[in-house]
């Protein structure tokens, strides 16, 4: 099954890739790797904003991380000219959670993105990862995730 077919089977429609909001590019290719800039928990409805453990529940935060994953897929799709079957492996995800002072379940939040990568790419979606709680994220979004992808 093609990656696009798997995405459709999961009921996902890829959005237009988000434009940078500052002085950077959405992705850079270096050899066989693509480095995707951080993608926020944003969607057409405004996304998920707020502080996890304060005004965003852990379940909402995991959904926010999944939104980041969908946005990563959109950027990857742009980087490979629409041929997601060129992805060899999701190498690494870097997850950032706007966390309240008592919220410690950061890895569980980022699982929302990690699980999506495995659902979409199978074993090639298994990756190394960091998951970090931060004071603030751009534009008040609850979660941000960046990625390193190997392509052929």
**pLDDT, tens digit, 9 for 90 and up, residues 65-86:** 999 999 999 999 999 999 999 9
| pLDDT on residue 83 | 98
Token reading at 143:
């979660």
Instruction: Map out the domains of the chain as residue ranges.
Output: 3-18+25-151
Helix/strand/coil (H/E/C) assignment for every residue in 63-103: HHHHHHHHHHHHHHHHHCCCCHHHEEEEEEEEEEEEECCCC
pTM for the model stands at: 0.97
User: Hey, what CATH class is 3-18+25-151 in?
Assistant: alpha beta
Q: Rounded to the nearest 5°, which phi and psi values hold at 95?
A: -110, 135
Order of all β-strands in the sheet with 33-40 = 27-30, 33-40, 143-151, 87-98, 128-134
Q: Rounded to the nearest 5°, which phi and psi values hold at 68?
A: -60, -40
């Amino acid at each position: 099954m093609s990656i696009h077919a798997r995405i459709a089977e999961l009921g996902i429609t890829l959005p237009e890739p988000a434009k940078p909001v500052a002085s950077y590019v959405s992705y850079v290719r270096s050899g066989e790797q693509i480095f995707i800039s951080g993608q926020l928990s944003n969607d057409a409805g405004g996304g998920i904003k707020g502080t996890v453990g304060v005004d965003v529940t852990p379940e909402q935060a995991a959904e926010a991380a999944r939104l980041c994953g969908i946005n990563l897929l959109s950027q990857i799709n742009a980087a490979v000219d629409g041929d997601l079957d060129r992805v060899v492996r999701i190498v690494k995800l870097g997850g950032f959670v706007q966390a309240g002072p008592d919220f410690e379940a950061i890895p569980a939040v980022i699982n929302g993105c990690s699980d999506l990568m495995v659902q979409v790419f199978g074993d090639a979606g298994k990756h190394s990862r960091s998951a970090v709680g931060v004071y603030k994220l751009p534009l008040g979004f609850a979660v941000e995730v960046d990625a390193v992808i190997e392509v052929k």
